[in-house]
A and B are shown apart, each in its own frame.
Chain A
Amino acid sequence: MSTRDFLHQLPGAASAFSRPVGWFERLHLDFWMLLLLLVLISSGLFVLYSASGESMEDVYRQSLRFAVALAGMIILAQFNPRILERWSPLFYLSIAILLVGVLLFGVGAKGAQRWLAIPGVIRFQPSEFMKLAMPMMVAWYLSHRPLPPGWHHLIISAVILVVPVLLIAKQPDLGTSLLVAAAGLFVILLAGLSWKLIGSFVALGIAALPALWHVMRDYQRQRVLTFLNPESDPLGSGWNIIQSKTAIGSGGLYGKGWLEGTQSQLEFLPERHTDFIIAVLAEEFGTIGVCAILLLYLLIIGRGLFIALNAQSTYGRLVAGSITLTFFVYVFVNIGMVSGLLPVVGVPLPLVSFGGTSSVTLLAGFGILMSIHTHRSLLVK
């Protein structure tokens, strides 16, 4: 019997020893995290107003989405993490089956097949849920094993990780498969994968890059080529990068002012309020604005890691750590691609870009964090 099981056998212990809590904790919400998220979301709406060409309609729509997503977050926070843990494998398996379904019966556009649809009823993207199911499943698996994980546990974790990632990559959806892979990898890294192995995997990964080129679809290769030389396709995909760099660069240190971004207001691409919104922010608020938003992200990540460090179960620690670090991957990949550091993959700027799907999963992730943080008992402390 492991120590963990032992703890489970103390019924009622949690309530008997629970701390006196404020109403925030009674609602199972984390005050600091909620505050930071709300500040981020409202700043994002400001930028969106400018980026959407002063469209109040877009701002309303986006606010409505956030309201729904926040409600989802609050509901999720009410669940005890142990319940979430118990349901992790089933959740993961059902999403994995749905992903197979996407490949067989999925619908989509532009050669990518990403949605499952029951016509007239519902249309959704199972890969989006995998962003949460993946860390939950890997954490569930590893938290039941002695850590740092042994060889065969690592191999099983790798299988858990690779199957959905390949399914999503096959749709093809490079951005999402990258995020899902990252979420799973972070769990394994946090669980204590030895540095030696990490080092050799990184080396192997770099060596495998040329092989990756062969399995990529034409449009994906095109993106990489465009990244390497945006001028090669100025009317097509290179346009985005040339224009976003111009917008960012012309913003300068202090920016041109809210609604004053000539580049973004006039000559930008259709995606200026979705994936490329950071360019609008950079043009209108300058380096100062970008630093401010990066600071906000950093604080959220700091709070997330704090929650992870204080989590009481291994499962809670791993899931909280992975969700937080994946959140950072969004930030880095998005700003990196818009500023021309990385090739263009479809990753939005979290909680700022216009669009509903990612906001829901992101805030659901924060709901899980809050659940982990607010269901602690004093016993183990």
Chain B
Amino acid sequence: MSEKRTFKNLKLEQSIFRERVFVAFLFVILLVLVLVGRMLYLQVYQYDIYTTRSDKNRMHVRAIPPTRGLIFDRNGRILAENLPSYNLTFVRERAGDTAAVLDVLADILELSEEQKEDMSKQAYSRRRPFQSALLLSQLDDEQIARVSVNRYRLPGVDIEAQLIRHYPYGPLTAHILGYVSRISEKDLKKVDRSQYAGTHYIGKGGIERQYETALHGRVGVQTVETNARGRVLQVLSEELPEQGESLSLYLDAELQKVAARALAGFRGALVAIDPNTGGILAMVSTPSFDPNLFVGGINPDIYRQLITSPDLPMFDRTIRGKYPPASTIKAFMGLAGLEHGVVNATTTIYDPGWYQLPNDSRLYRNWKRVGHGKVNLKRSIVVSNDTYFYNLAYNLGIDRIQPFMKQFGFGINTALDLPGASSGLMPGREWKKAHRKLPWFPGETLSIGIGQGYWLATPLQIATSMVVLANRGKWVQPRIVEMQGRNQAHLNPENKPEDVSVSKPEYWDQVIDGMVAVVHSSTGTARRISKGIRYTMAGKTGTAQVKGIKQGEKYDASKLHERHRDHALFAGFAPVENPQIALAVVVENAGGGSTTAAPIARMVFDAWLTPERLKSTKTASDLVDGNRQ
């Protein structure tokens, strides 16, 4: 760059600078005069307006909270409603001596130290001035009376009628709906603060959280003039709130009841889905908890019990519980074998009761130690033969199994509107390298072949796989809220799976036939639930090993700790000709799928498909020959 050599003209520079500083200072003075003028305008010319607003009568902007939307089941039964309740509220600015008022209150209501502490935490929480804090909720009549009588000693304290959330079905819908509870400072950081100016509750978990914006509605605003004591003199303007939107679920509360009754006493989960819509008909995780306890602020002792219980009542097993899918996936393995040409319907192998890899002495056992003899694809599904699937999995290889199973939603969260649903685990070589720092061993493919090993799926995923099977490859994603208008915005957009296609449609028939025979043939593992059945059911039992059995050792439930016993599974759909319901049941540590899980499934199928028959039966064991073992 050729720069012109110019001498700096210092004299010129200085005179320009002086001129500029002079002009700038003039500007500064001019702008300061503008500010002074503005102050004079506000403080002298408009003094009367503002002084009236501020001194004689105060203008208040009050929030009118919207009413939270209701939640209905598919038949219009109310699952979440708002009941009137009386709250004790407190405005610090009107109290004068906050501590003294709180002492009086604690004395009148005979509060415990802990309650008092909680109350003062609420009273001192950071709020906009003159905004009320919620001290106690759900006052009973006696408390109301005591506060009212002592009103004169309690400046700033008020009894406010408010609507409070109530869940009539209690524990039955706790995991699905979630619950609302008092807004914390942390919650407020995540939402638009001004929208929650008059609201004391916010959705935590489940639908209450997922659909918070729609259920909450939009706040209304009322501008009122009050005197210095805070009494309202007149309403200056009012903008009514936009009430929260009500939601309808695909869920059937009665079916939910049946499923919960069938699972009662077990730790487990059941998910039933309508294969035509993907709508979730029932979704039960047991044990459960009472969401109503959380609404008014839960007692810390009860809460501690809930979160420390080894039965994990707060844990939603349906979408977060990860279990080996076990033999429930054998139909998909069979389909993979057919599609990849590894087997055909007539391929037969001989099962001596075990399978061995070349150059490996380890025996991979069939569940029936003496073996099933000659088995083909259909028979291997019907009797749930393991050896056939060891062989099939070995010939397919993990690199073909993993992508095939992903098509059915294994290892992927396909739920449209269930917050926190797990994606389970569909393992493969890359996964093992990344997470275990080890190569994939051939023996692990055999475990995958019978739905064990690293493979984990949620009950929702197993039920979803049944939906896709029932629809012969056509995907509908599981969802709980019937879409309407604005609600669509809350759906999970990613992970949209593509329909599964196989080269010959009869492949579907071949594996589904096997699953029908599981229930309806005399050799099927679920034959005992077919008694008096009035529709065709396709099903598959599963028994998921919890604790590894050593080489040469025999599984003996009575010798194992209760928590180490096998999980019982059942997955299926019905009627086969025109599928109306697909489901998956997992019962933790309950032994075999045929004895425990299958009868539970039958009860739910019956309730949905032949409701009239249900009246005469009471427990799951009535439906099968003999009692549960």
A residues at B contact (CB < 8 Å): 2-4, 109, 146-148, 186, 189-192, 233-236, 239, 245-253, 262-263, 266-270, 282, 286-287, 290-291, 294, 297-298, 301-302, 305, 308-309, 314, 317-318, 321, 325, 328, 332, 335-336, 339, 341
Contact = CB atoms under 8 A, between A and B. Distances in A.
B9 interface: yes
Contacts of A309: 17-18, 21
B194 A250 contact: no
B51 interface: yes
Interface string B58-94: 1111010000000000000000000000000000010
A335 B35 CA distance: 7
Given A2-B7, A3-B10, A189-B20, A286 B43 contact: yes
| SS class, residues of chain B in contact with chain A | helix
20 contacts: A2-B8, A3-B8, A4-B8, A148-B16, A190-B17, A234-B223, A235-B61, A246-B53, A248-B42, A250-B51, A252-B51, A253-B44, A266-B130, A267-B130, A268-B129, A282-B43, A287-B39, A291-B39, A298-B32, A336-B38
Interface string B469-500: 00000000000000000000000000000000
B28 A301 contact: yes
The 7 closest A-B CB pairs, nearest first, are A249-B50, A250-B54, A236-B194, A192-B16, A146-B6, A249-B42, A235-B194
B13 A325 contact: no
Given A189-B20, A234-B61, A266-B129, A245 B7 contact: no
Contacts of B24: 186, 189-190, 305, 321, 325
A7 B52 CA distance: 66
A146 B10 CA distance: 9
Contacts of A335: 35, 38
B124 interface: no
Interface string B390-413: 000000000000000000000000
B504 interface: no
A141 to B, nearest CB: 13
Contacts of B38: 335-336, 339, 341
B434 interface: no
A316 to B, nearest CB: 11
Nearest to B28: A328
A270 B126 contact: yes
Contacts of A248: 39, 42-43, 50
Nearest to A295: B32
Nearest to A110: B189
A358 B20 CA distance: 27
Contact of B54 (A3, A263, A318): A263
Contacts of B49: 249
B8 A305 contact: no
A163 to B, nearest CB: 20
Contacts of A301: 25, 28
B61 A332 contact: no
A332 B35 contact: yes
Contact of A245 (B17, B32, B50): B50
Contacts of B128: 239, 269-270
B387 to A, nearest CB: 55
Given A2-B8, A236-B194, A335-B35, 5 more contacts: A239-B61, A282-B42, A290-B35, A314-B13, A341-B35
Interface string B195-238: 00100000000000000000000010101000000000000000
Contacts of B58: 267
A309 B14 CA distance: 8
A308 B58 CA distance: 49
Contacts, number: 152
Interface in B117-151: 126, 128-130
B46 interface: yes
Given A2-B7, A269-B128, A305 B25 contact: yes
Contact of A282 (B8, B39, B54, B129): B39
B36 A291 contact: yes
| SS class, residues of chain A in contact with chain B | helix
A317 B10 CA distance: 12
A305 B25 CA distance: 8
B29 interface: yes
Given A190-B17, A190-B21, A298-B29, A266 B61 contact: no
B17 A250 contact: no
B99 to A, nearest CB: 16
Contacts of B6: 146
B612 interface: no
A250 B53 contact: yes
B43 A249 contact: yes
Nearest to B35: A335
B535 interface: no
B264 interface: no
B113 interface: no
B21 A339 contact: no
Contacts of B60: 267
B44 A192 contact: no
B23 to A, nearest CB: 9
Contacts of A186: 24
A109 B192 CA distance: 14
B357 interface: no
Contacts of A270: 126, 128
Contact of A192 (B20, B42, B223): B20
Contacts of B9: 146-147
A228 to B, nearest CB: 17
Contacts of A109: 189
A286 B39 CA distance: 9
B185 interface: no
B43 A190 contact: no
B577 interface: no
A309 B35 CA distance: 26
A250 B55 contact: yes
Contacts of A235: 61, 63, 194, 197, 219, 221
Nearest to B6: A146
B47 interface: yes
A339 B28 contact: no
Nearest to B49: A249
Nearest to B94: A266
Nearest to B7: A2
B40 interface: yes
A160 to B, nearest CB: 17
Contacts of A294: 32, 35-36
A191 B187 CA distance: 52
A115 to B, nearest CB: 17
Contacts of B219: 235
B31 interface: yes
Contact of A339 (B25, B39, B47): B39
A262 B28 contact: no
Contacts of B129: 266-268
Given A3-B10, A262-B54, A250 B31 contact: no
A180 B55 CA distance: 41
A281 to B, nearest CB: 11
A268 B31 CA distance: 27
Interface in B397-447: none
A287 B40 contact: yes
A335 B10 CA distance: 38
B10 to A, nearest CB: 6
A85 to B, nearest CB: 15
A308 B7 CA distance: 23
Contacts of B59: 246
Of B12, B39, B219, most buried by chain A (CB within 10 Å of CB) is B39
A294 B53 CA distance: 27
Contacts of B44: 252-253, 287
A336 B35 contact: yes
Contact of B25 (A252, A269, A287, A302): A302
B7 A3 contact: yes
Contacts of A290: 35-36, 39
Contacts of B7: 2-3, 146
Contacts of B29: 298
